[in-house]
Structure 1
Amino acid sequence: MNARTQDATREIHMQVMWNRLISVVEEQAMTLLRTAFSTSVREAGDLSAGVFDPQGRMLAQAVTGTPGHVNTMAEAVLHFIAEIGRDRMYPGDTYVTNDPWKGTGHLHDITMVSPSFKGDELVGFFACTAHVVDVGGRGFGADGKSVYEEGIQIPIMKFAERGAVNEDLIRLLRSNVREPNQVVGDFFSLAACNDVGHRRLIAMMEEIGLSNLDDLGEFIFSRTRTAMLERIRALPQGSWSNELATDGYDQPVNLAATVSFGDDLVHVDFTGTDGQSRWGINVPLIYTKAYACYALKCVVAPDIPNNWASLELFTVASPPNILNAQRPAPVSLRHVLGHMVPDLVLGAVAKAMPGQILAEGAAALWNIHISARPVAGQDGRRAEMLMFNSGGMGARPTLDGLSATAFPSGVHTMPIEATEQTGPITVWRKELRPDSGGAGEYRGGLGQIIEIEAAPGHEFDFSAMFDRVGHAARGRDGGQDGAAGRVELDDGTQLKPKGWQHVPAGRKLILHLPGGGGLGDPARRSESARAEDISKGYVTEKSE
């Protein structure tokens, strides 16, 4: 066999092992989906899973999961290694935290990291994250004035050592949360997720005859870096800025970003963004960076696998502000403004690459946390429930925007049946919202209308986590804005887009989710597309 044939054979062999590694982490994620207690994980896929080398560099991520979890997890593993210390790591260990600044940005996300040993040698780490239904404190909402009010804080520590679970931590959890069985169950699901990844990795290494992952890691990182540099060097060189207004909590918040292409890097600077809020809508930089990198990768290299080498070429900077919140700022709803970061960043990129970037969309999930209980004096059921709902995406350069689609988070919607099963509520209506997509040559995606009522004899409080109520998604290149959102009761009472509020027995909560912005001059929309919009009910006759 000549040298060229040997090189080609090795290349194929390494690529096969890389694919095997991705299948290992996908099975890791599927374990979490199958065993999770919270509907946000098992129904919506609000999770991440990945495998890392002994230095804490992400080798591969599961396709299942959200950018906010995956890209923060990629940085979080380094914090675990630094705080636990290599000399205190043993086979059978699992480590845990929900530290917003060293994990995924708020207390409701649990990150677990497990070392993977082959014999006595540390060959890597597995990590996973998931959103749990409750962490105590005020509950999932923006009303806290510091992180100390938002729930129990778990510093980086051992969930299990040499296979023995930390029972003291379990007792603390049970004493601090409203849904102890769900929360503790999800902790064990996360640990099982990493264990499955470890067992599949060791089986793969033994089958192939690998003693460690060094050569495979070098192959993954070198190929990724070469491909990424090729894409970055093909970009226009320079800097472009953009601003985006959001609803904030009690007053609007302005976000600003400057994107720079050059020197074999893509850099984002959030200087000019409004200062830190006194409410829980602040965003730790680790989460801001996660979504900034995701937006850039969608443009620069959507087809190149996401790992340490691809993320390394994106850098982010920010002075202390609402996108770089400093401890102990309240951060419970960090996702609301965090999900706006891609629209903010892509708005700057659109100036560098005109005609190639989608319009703004609803962006932030319209999450709703419902705390249901029986009316005083009546028997009934108490429950904590979480629903993930999505507005419309912005129109794309050659296609309409997707309706009721979670961009940029990528989570699934929760089936009504699964939501109703978890507590005493009825979802009377969940349908597309006509006329909510911005007009354009390509129409923005539609939002939804959702109608919720407590079961007979019950009432509920809910935490509103909504945006795009006072500031609609903007169209691009002549496209019109999408429809703004609205929150109200069925008697017409207007409610706030953020904060805990009450829905009395017999009243229905109605959510009108925002639509995405249109792209291009509406006069250029084809007659066939206009007719189809009307025939499908996306656009009504009166709006034409």
Structure 2
Amino acid sequence: MKKVHVQDPIDLEIKWQRLIAIMDEIDNATIKTAFSTIVSDSHDFACILLDSNGNSICQSSFSPPDFCVIIPSTARKIINKIGKENINDGDVLVTNDPWIAAGHLPDYAILTPIFFKNKLIGFIGTIAHLADVGGHNGDIIANDVYTEGLCIPPSKLVKKSFENNFLFNIISNNTRVPDLVIGDLRAIIGTHKLGKNRIEEFFNDYKLNNFIKLSSVIMGNSEELLRNKIYKLKNGVYKYNLNIDGYFDIVTLNVSIKISDYDIYVDYTGSSTQTHRASINCVYNVTHSSTMYPFKCALAPNIPNNTGLFKPIHVFAPKGSILNTTFPHPVQARAKTTNNINQVIFGALSDVFGEYSQAGSGSIWPFSVFGTDDSDNTFSCHILPHGGRGAMKNMDGLLPIAFPHNSVVTPIEIMELKSPVIFEMKKLIPNSGGPGKYRGGLSQQINIKNISDKTIKARIRPDKIVCEPKGLNNGLPGIRGKVIYNGHEIREFPIFDFKPNDKIELILPGGAGHGNPKDRSKKDINKDLELGYITEEHCKSYYH
């Protein structure tokens, strides 16, 4: 067993928590200053502190887990492309290249260098989902990445404290909502300035000259803690495969996981090949980050993320597969695929993870409306509703909640204020959670109506409408999702005209059950009946 060595653990914890607090302050400032609903309300962004080599030290407490793993590798690629010697105080670096950053064009990576006493000591990194990047505006049907919008290679958005007007103009001229996009970029630049000031105060208070020693200790301790957790697991090879919706065709995710002493090797050989028919392909960056999250949940839930934490986990996905797509395959809707990676990991390691194993969850269904309202004002609004969460070995699945992300549902009042739609209904669906010893989380139904006199555009990206969330250990699946448009179920989801008085009903998938339904306690069954989570008929069918 490896021994964790911590030098002055109290001092380390004080410094570490102060740095996390600085990232939380940047996070909160971003929410308050951003322009778009996807950033300010849905919280589709992350803030990370990195050392001068691009290794993550800490993140904000609210950052989406996938971004937290991606930002360090993105930072290193940007630094290598631009050259550390060419980075100056006052610069702000940017890219949205999917193969460098977060896997699709709307996710912009913004990197601000931190200088102290004229020396580069680190970076503040943010990945944020911007409201619109041109192209086909997020349509899932695409043949290549060129149709999906503007791609910015690693560049300087700000040069020595002066905005790069040429680049700002390119971005502004290639979006339908320049006020939102440029507003969000400037908000992030401003919050990074706040963070730089706080880091300078930190260095002065502790009389530090660089992050290298602190970063090394944090990463080293985190790595050893995780290796010790892995060492307690049973060595072996564990396999699982899962069919998921895809778009035109069913997609298979196949995994083989080898646990070997202090390391874990994850191999996705056998998964479906990449496709030119729909934008559901995943770059390796996103596959890698999505793989880390279930291990983080099960093995290290209380250890803050940093680069060292993920060193013991090694991920391989064959080049040209749907989990390691090659340029220029379309990638806009990559989350339809990567949001299911956690399910194959939990499926393969359900016995190994024990109480932390989780059945399949209902997905996030990104829904957006955009266009011009009755006053000819341009708008673009997003909401990220969730299905029910999968049950665990000793706990019912949670009611609709984001998983495997921690995105926030834009408040209905904000959507109705900023776009010409009204939400006529938002309710839990009885019997939607998969039966099991522990029941899957209930899903929800959301009814939306266009109340303007104009036809606007709408986009919905559903999941699990063909392949339902899968149960574990004899637990049963949650319900499949459905999309009802003007009373008729639809199964294809390009961007569509949302006409005056048209209605769309979103029936999201339910979380799957864990364990045999016949083993569910009478107390839990009666509580579900009392709360209206299940009906008497459903109870008789599955629990008696």
What TM-score range do you get, normalising by the shorter chain? over 0.9
Distance 1:79 1:18 in 2: 26
Query: Partner of 1:527 in structure 2?
Result: 522
Query: Residue by residue, what CA displacement relative to the aligned partner does 1:117-160 show, whole Å, maximum 9, x if unpaired?
Result: 00211111110111111001000221221110001111110010
- 2:246–2:336: 8 Å Cα contact kept in structure 1? no
TM-score scaled to structure 1, two decimals?
Answer: 0.95
- 1:437–1:445: 8 Å Cα contact kept in structure 2? yes
1:168 maps to 2:166:
yes
Query: Partner of 1:357 in structure 2?
Result: 357
- 1:372–1:424: 8 Å Cα contact kept in structure 2? no
**Other structure's SS at 1:176 match:** coil
Residues 237 and 535 (structure 1), Cα distance of their counterparts in 2 relative to 1, 3 Å cut? same
Deviation at 1:505, TM superposition (A): 2.2
Distance 2:93 2:527 in 1: 53
Distance 2:266 2:6 in 1: 38
Query: Residue by residue, what CA displacement relative to the aligned partner does 1:62-81 show, whole Å, maximum 9, x if unpaired?
Result: 11121121111121111111
My pick for the range that moved more, 462-471 or 496-505, is 496-505
- 2:230–2:261: 8 Å Cα contact kept in structure 1? no
Name which of 36, 40, 47 aligns with 1:38: 36
My pick for the range that moved more, 505-514 or 531-540, is 531-540
Query: Partner of 1:371 in structure 2?
Result: 370
Distance 1:172 1:356 in 2: 47
- 2:355–2:392: 8 Å Cα contact kept in structure 1? no
Query: Partner of 2:74 in structure 1?
Result: 76
Number of positions where the alignment pairs a residue of Structure 1 with one of Structure 2: 533
- 1:242–1:344: 8 Å Cα contact kept in structure 2? yes
1:255 maps to 2:250:
no
Distance 1:393 1:20 in 2: 33
**Other structure's SS at 2:323 match:** coil
Letter aligned with residue 58 of structure 2: A
**Other structure's SS at 2:369 match:** strand
Deviation at 1:498, TM superposition (A): 3.4
Query: Partner of 2:329 in structure 1?
Result: 329
Deviation at 1:165, TM superposition (A): 0.6
- 1:467–1:497: 8 Å Cα contact kept in structure 2? no
**Other structure's SS at 2:393 match:** coil
Deviation at 1:182, TM superposition (A): 0.2
My pick for the range that moved more, 136-145 or 454-463, is 454-463
Query: Partner of 2:118 in structure 1?
Result: 120
Letter aligned with residue 127 of structure 2: T
Distance 1:120 1:348 in 2: 50
Deviation at 1:214, TM superposition (A): 2.3
Give the gaps of 5 or more residues in structure 1.
1-6
1:498 maps to 2:496:
no
1:183 maps to 2:178:
no
Query: Residue by residue, what CA displacement relative to the aligned partner does 1:72-105 show, whole Å, maximum 9, x if unpaired?
Result: 1121111111011111111111000111011011
Distance 2:118 2:72 in 1: 25
Query: Partner of 1:4 in structure 2?
Result: none
Deviation at 1:228, TM superposition (A): 1.4
Taking only the aligned residue pairs, the percentage that are identical comes to 29
Q: How does 1:160-239 map to 2 (within 5 A)?
A: 160-239=158-237
Residues 119 and 354 (structure 1), Cα distance of their counterparts in 2 relative to 1, 3 Å cut? closer
Deviation at 1:42, TM superposition (A): 1.2
Query: Partner of 2:313 in structure 1?
Result: 314
Residues 475 and 164 (structure 1), Cα distance of their counterparts in 2 relative to 1, 3 Å cut? same
RMSD value, Cα? 1.7
Deviation at 1:193, TM superposition (A): 2.3
Deviation at 1:18, TM superposition (A): 1.4
Give the gaps of 5 or more residues in structure 2.
540-544
- 1:133–1:179: 8 Å Cα contact kept in structure 2? yes
1:538 maps to 2:533:
yes
- 2:6–2:221: 8 Å Cα contact kept in structure 1? no
Letter aligned with residue 429 of structure 2: R
Distance 1:192 1:534 in 2: 51
Query: Residue by residue, what CA displacement relative to the aligned partner does 1:35-74 show, whole Å, maximum 9, x if unpaired?
Result: 1111111112111111111111111111112112111112
Name which of 125, 129, 132 aligns with 2:130: 132
Distance 2:22 2:431 in 1: 44
Distance 1:9 1:230 in 2: 18
Query: Partner of 2:415 in structure 1?
Result: 419
Query: Partner of 1:85 in structure 2?
Result: 83
Letter aligned with residue 472 of structure 2: R
Residues 271 and 17 (structure 1), Cα distance of their counterparts in 2 relative to 1, 3 Å cut? same
My pick for the range that moved more, 236-245 or 221-230, is 221-230
Distance 2:375 2:111 in 1: 43
Residues 95 and 427 (structure 1), Cα distance of their counterparts in 2 relative to 1, 3 Å cut? same
Distance 1:403 1:283 in 2: 28
- 1:221–1:308: 8 Å Cα contact kept in structure 2? yes
Distance 2:356 2:210 in 1: 42
Distance 1:193 1:169 in 2: 20
**Other structure's SS at 1:41 match:** helix
Letter aligned with residue 357 of structure 1: S
Query: Partner of 2:293 in structure 1?
Result: 294
Letter aligned with residue 527 of structure 1: K
Distance 1:344 1:84 in 2: 37
Name which of 459, 466, 472 aligns with 1:463: 459
Letter aligned with residue 421 of structure 1: L
Name which of 385, 389, 400 aligns with 1:389: 385
Distance 2:353 2:214 in 1: 35
Distance 1:68 1:498 in 2: 25
Letter aligned with residue 417 of structure 1: E
Residues 314 and 532 (structure 1), Cα distance of their counterparts in 2 relative to 1, 3 Å cut? same
1:27 maps to 2:22:
no
- 2:372–2:378: 8 Å Cα contact kept in structure 1? yes
- 1:437–1:447: 8 Å Cα contact kept in structure 2? yes
TM-score scaled to structure 2, two decimals?
Answer: 0.95
- 2:450–2:500: 8 Å Cα contact kept in structure 1? yes
- 2:351–2:357: 8 Å Cα contact kept in structure 1? no
My pick for the range that moved more, 121-130 or 460-469, is 460-469
Detail structure 1 runs of 4+ shifted over 6 Å in the superposition: none
Distance 1:177 1:394 in 2: 38
**Other structure's SS at 2:8 match:** helix
1:480 maps to 2:479:
no
**Other structure's SS at 1:225 match:** helix
1:401 maps to 2:397:
yes
Query: Partner of 2:542 in structure 1?
Result: none
Distance 2:353 2:322 in 1: 28
Query: Residue by residue, what CA displacement relative to the aligned partner does 1:316-345 show, whole Å, maximum 9, x if unpaired?
Result: 111121111111111001111111111111
Name which of 512, 517, 530 aligns with 2:507: 512
Deviation at 1:384, TM superposition (A): 2.1
Query: Partner of 1:339 in structure 2?
Result: 339
**Other structure's SS at 1:499 match:** coil
**Other structure's SS at 1:113 match:** strand
